[in-house]
């Protein structure tokens, strides 16, 4: 019986040593040594639809975080690519800093029918890029694997989930990351009272226009711009526009979402045959 604790202790140290060895070997194993590792600029060159939508839906936070050049309506492709690269790197760094990788793995294992649950098993070539360094294969799966998260859900879903996870995933144990949200002022449009009556909807129901402004004055200027550019067929909507305090994602939140919406979307170009 005296030997039993020693055996358990030796087994524990052995498991620890094996895990350390695997942690060192795995990054090497998934590297495609036949091709140079893709840089963040390389993987950011393909602008995802979701990143473009972040610019459209949250223009103020986008401009404050990623600059005027990319935020412009006629932004050149190079400016958008540079902003995408900056957002991906910042988003990945925040994802690591917040410990998201503890509860969300990024490794669909080729066992136990995991492909049916979490999607495509990515190849070494697909993982051979700077955004996969360090390797975020996770420690456990309290939440789902995020290897192929990109494009699965809308940006608005991710915003709501980041602020209050249980609003989108009832029963979730994930904490709300409310420090990635800021207070401000936003333009809203109150629903048409006639349509509200027909549909039995509260006549005070309102819908926000994109843009969370730092001051009420900025929001009122935006209201006048929206009102002046309404199509003549819906000009009466201008009378139902108003400004009120609101809460929305800041620039760092947009970067985290940009990173999540990128996961699983990058596929390297096949090398050309000489």
Which SS3 state, helix, strand or coil, does residue 211 take? strand
Query: Would you say 147 and 106 are in contact if contact means Cβ atoms under 8 Å apart?
Result: yes
pLDDT at 196: 93
pLDDT at 2: 64
Domain ranges in the chain with CATH number 1.10.760.10: 37-178+254-262
- Which residues of the chain carry a pLDDT beneath 50? none
Question: Residue 170 and residue 173: Cα distance in Å, rounded?
Answer: 9
198-254 per-position pLDDT tens digit:
999 999 999 999 999 999 999 999 999 999 999 999 999 999 999 999 999 999 999
pLDDT at 33: 65
pLDDT at 273: 56
Tell me phi and psi for residue 82, to 5 degrees: -65, -40
Model's pTM, two decimal places?
0.89
Q: Under CATH, domain 37-178+254-262 is a member of which superfamily?
A: Cytochrome c-like domain (1.10.760.10)
Helix (H) or strand (E) holding 206: strand 206-213
* Count of CB atoms situated within 10 Å of the CB of 161: 20
| β 181-190/241-249 pair status | antiparallel
CA dihedral (79, 48, 260, 263) positive or negative? negative
19 bridge partner residues: none
pLDDT at 15: 82
Distances (CA, A) of 4 to 11, 14, 17, 47: 11, 15, 20, 58
Q: How many CA atoms lie within 13 A of 218 on its CB side?
A: 10
Q: Which of 149, 83, 141, 97 is nearest to 119 (CA)?
A: 149
| β 206-213/181-190 pair status | antiparallel
Question: Residue 162 and residue 169: Cα distance in Å, rounded?
Answer: 11
Helix (H) or strand (E) holding 106: none
Tell me phi and psi for residue 170, to 5 degrees: -55, 135
241 bridge partner residues: 189
């Amino acid at each position: 019986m005296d030997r039993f604790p020693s055996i358990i202790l030796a087994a524990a140290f052995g498991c620890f040593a094996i895990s350390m060895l695997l942690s060192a070997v795995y990054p090497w194993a998934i590297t495609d040594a036949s091709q140079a590792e893709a840089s963040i600029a390389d993987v950011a060159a393909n602008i995802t639809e979701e990143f473009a939508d972040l610019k459209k839906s949250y223009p103020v936070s986008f401009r404050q975080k990623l600059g005027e050049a990319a935020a412009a309506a006629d932004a050149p492709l190079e400016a958008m690519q540079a902003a995408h690269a900056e957002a991906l790197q910042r988003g990945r760094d925040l994802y690591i800093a917040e410990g998201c990788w503890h509860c969300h793995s990024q490794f669909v294992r080729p066992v136990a029918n995991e492909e049916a649950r979490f999607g495509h098993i990515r190849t070494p070539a697909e993982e051979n890029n700077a955004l996969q360094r360090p390797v975020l294969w996770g420690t456990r799966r309290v939440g789902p694997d995020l290897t192929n998260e990109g494009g699965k859900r809308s940006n608005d879903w991710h915003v709501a989930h980041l602020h209050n996870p249980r609003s989108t995933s009832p029963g979730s144990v994930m904490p709300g990351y409310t420090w990635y949200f800021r207070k401000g002022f936003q333009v809203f449009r109150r629903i048409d009272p006639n349509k509200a009556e027909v549909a039995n909807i509260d006549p005070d129901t309102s819908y926000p226009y994109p843009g969370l402004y730092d001051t009420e004055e900025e929001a009122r200027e935006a209201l006048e711009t929206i009102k002046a550019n309404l199509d003549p067929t819906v000009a009466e909507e201008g009378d139902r526009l108003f400004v009120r305090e609101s809460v929305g994602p800041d620039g760092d939140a947009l970067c985290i979402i940009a990173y999540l919406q990128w996961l699983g979307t990058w596929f390297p170009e096949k090398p050309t045959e000489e």
